[in-house]
Structure formats: structure tokens, C-alpha cells
Amino acid sequence: MTYLDHLTIAWVHLRERKRQTILTALGVAVGSAMLVTTIAIAGGMSRNVVNKIIDIAPHIIVSAERIEPLVPDNLLGSTGNFLGFVEKNITVAEKKTIKNYPDTVERIGSVGEVEIVSPFVTSNLIVRNRSRFTSCTAKGVLPEKEAGIANLGKKLVESNALAELAYTPDGILVGNLLAEDLKASYHSRLLLISKNGLEFPVTVVGRFSTGFNAKDRQEAYINLALAQRIEGIAANAVTSIGLRTADVGRAGEVAEKVEQLTGFQSESWDESNKNVIEFYNRNGTITLVLVGFVFIVAGLGVSSVMTTVVLQKIKDIAIMRSMGVKQSSITAIFMTEGFIIGLLGVVFGCPIGHFITRLVGTIRFEANTAGVLQSDRINISETPESYIIVIVFGILISVISSIGPARKAAGYVPVKILRGQM
């Protein structure tokens, strides 16, 4: 028998049981639609997180940690297995810094893939507004440089805040959620308290909103000179340097170049935010596995229908076998039926999934600050690959589910069936 013969007989069998065939194909269609929607939502969530990280954070951060530690300046010398030190007042809590940072910035600037270089100093502080206070991380920056690194210009609540920060030595640009917690508004006077108990009065020059709740609630920007005073470090020293590259996809390669050039440890954005990205990817995978069980249920439906068809067509099977039809052809006929059911299911299920995905994408709701990100919608991301995966998976499950009934049909002994012994 040819493949066309297998297909013709399989189609006749399914057509005779239209209701069961339609209901079974509908089960596969529901599984296909659910999987298409789930893949789009899970991919959209992960993609949204990655895009926001790329948008608000440096592509590469050069830290003050050296690849090879410097030789201590109080080392007298070494003989055999002994080292000799002179007694010296060493401040253990001294903050690690990149000294003479203009020279380091110049060297980094020679790397062709680097577009923007922004030195900064971070300070963990207590910020107070009258009776309200909270902890925050103040980032001392050069406003004109940081504007290009974090796209701050697009995230300002007050459009001229960056320009005002540049000419206001004691200015501070706060996250919108931090401003809400402190009940602070434009030109409010705040007090920054360092870990040594020193107080630094500042003036709010504006607010920013990145969409990352943790950043908007815990971070603020101040001028580099003020941050250096708060941390008690020299005017030519910084704690880190942020870089923005021409191609974010090559940030890892550029980080390696910068590391070799400067001798300081450099991390790309995906390394720095590895835990966050893995968390969202892991959640998406778990969701896909759970939704995939819908296909398993649909597969059981296919197996049930195929078993019923085999029992009803048992005499037809015996006649075909007695006419010389091989066991492999009987198996192929019933597996073709499973293929047809799976094909019908994904043909109808994928467009339904696309429609549901588009419908979900149009839903709008009030953004809240309870989660990691602020969003007023469910982000979706549809790709051709996801539809290919669903189509292949749907058909494969249906074919696999038909193997058992198909082998059972091929294993019948024609003589016993015709004698009525089965």
C-alpha cells in the first residue's frame, strides 16, 4: 500500500466518527492555543526585563577590584617563605577606589566599541525629610555623562532636572517612589547622613521613574564632587566606571578587552543581572511545563479515540490482513489518523492562540509598585519559532498517542477475528 492509500483509509475512518474526531482535535487545539499564549507572555516578560535593564543600567561596569592585587606599599621584602612588613596605620574600612580615574577613562575611551564613559561614586546613606527617613543609595555622577548611560533624559518627571543638577552642587535627583516615601517635592530640602554620622543638606532638583520599583524607591543621583566629599575620597578617585557600548550584544567581549586594558574587573550587564534574568527565564520554563500537560491530556484523548476506532474496525482490519495487507501498513494507517487529528488541532489552535495573545496584549490596568517592575500591561512577544514548536509538539503528541492503538490493531490475528473468537 502507498502513503496515499494509508491517508485515504485513515480519513474515511475519522470521517465516519465526525463528533469524536472534532472533539479530539478540539482538545489539541485548546492545548495549542494555550501554549502559544503562554510562550508569548513568558517571552514578553523576560524580554521586558532585559530591555529595561539595558535601558537603565550601564552595559559594562568597571569596579575598583583589580584582577591582580597590587603589592602592599608597606612590604619591606621577602626571603624564602617569609615576608617583612613595617608597622603602619592601615585603615581596613577604606573604600576601594579607582585612583587617577581620568587616565583610566582615557584608556577605556580608546576601545572602539565604547560610546560613553561615566565615572561614578556610590554611597549608602540615610536620607531624611523632617520626621521621615529611609535608606538609599546615592550615585555621584557627572550629569552630562550619566544622561547617556542610563537614558535619564527620557525618565525624568521634571524635564530640566538633569540640567539643574549639573549647576546645583548640592542638588539631588531622586526616584519617584523615594520622593513619595519622604513626601518630598521639587526644591524640598533633604538631609543626607553618611555612615560616619556626617550630615549633608541637599535640594531636590527633580525626580525620575525607570519602572524598576527597587531602583525608583532606593536610588538617587547627586554630583560626583559631593559624593567624593561624603565618602572622603580624593577628587581624582571614583568607586566605579560605567560604560555604554555600540552593540549591547557584544558587551561581554568588550568587558574582557577593558579588563585587560585597565587591570580592573569589568562586568557586562548580563553578568551583573544574571540572577534577575535567570529568575524570569526559570518562571517562564515552569509555566510552559505546566501548560504542556494540557497537551498530554489531549494526547490521552487521541489515544482513547484511536482505541475506539480500532475496536470498531476490527473486522475491517481482519479482512485487510487476509487480503495480504502488511502489519506495518495497518500500523501506518492508524498512526496517520493520529497525525491528521494533531494537524487539525494545531491548524485551528495556533490562530486562536494568536488571537488570544493579541487580546491579552490590549488589556490595560493600573500600574502598581508591589512587584519588581511597574507596568500597566501584560507584555507579549510572538516569534515564528514559538509557532513552529507548538505545531511540531502538537502533531508529535498526537502521533505518539496513536502508537499503542496502532500496534494493537496490527497485532490482531485475522483468522480468530473472522471466526468470532475475538
When pLDDT is averaged across residues 276-298 and rounded to a whole number, the result is: 74
The pLDDT of residue 84 is 56
What is the percent of the chain with per-residue pLDDT over 70, rounded to a whole number? Answer: 88
- 371, with CB counted inside 10 A (0-12, 13-18, 19+), is exposed
The pLDDT of residue 93 is 60
pLDDT tens readout for residues 131-140: 888 999 999 9
Q: At what angle do helices 101-109 and 251-262 cross, to 10 degrees?
A: 130
When pLDDT is averaged across residues 174-182 and rounded to a whole number, the result is: 91
Decide: 29 and 390 in contact? Cβ < 8 Å: no
When pLDDT is averaged across residues 4-9 and rounded to a whole number, the result is: 79
The pLDDT of residue 89 is 52
Match 571614583 to its residue by C-alpha cell.
Answer: 238
When pLDDT is averaged across residues 387-396 and rounded to a whole number, the result is: 87
Q: Which stretch, 9-23, 283-297, 352-366, has highest mean pLDDT?
A: 352-366
Q: How many CB atoms lie within 10 A of CB 174?
A: 30
The pLDDT of residue 416 is 63
Going by C-beta distance under 8 Å and a sequence separation of 6 or more, which residues neighbour residue 144?
A: 162, 166
What is the pTM assigned to this prediction? 0.71
| pLDDT band at residue 189 using 50, 70 and 90 as cut-offs | very high
Query: How high is the mean pLDDT of the chain?
Result: 81
Instruction: Decide which of 274 and 122 is more confident.
Output: 122
CA–CA separation, 4 and 46 (whole Å): 45
Beta bridge partners of 84: 77
Decide: 184 and 204 in contact? Cβ < 8 Å: yes
Closest-CA residue to 27 (of 362, 371, 411, 341): 341
* Domain map (residue ranges) of the chain: 3-54+276-418, 58-272
pLDDT tens readout for residues 322-371: 777 787 887 888 788 888 888 998 999 999 999 999 998 888 777 665 56
Q: Is 118 helix (H, G, I), strand (E, B) or coil?
A: strand
Residue 202 has pLDDT above 90, yes or no: yes
CA–CA separation, 117 and 146 (whole Å): 8
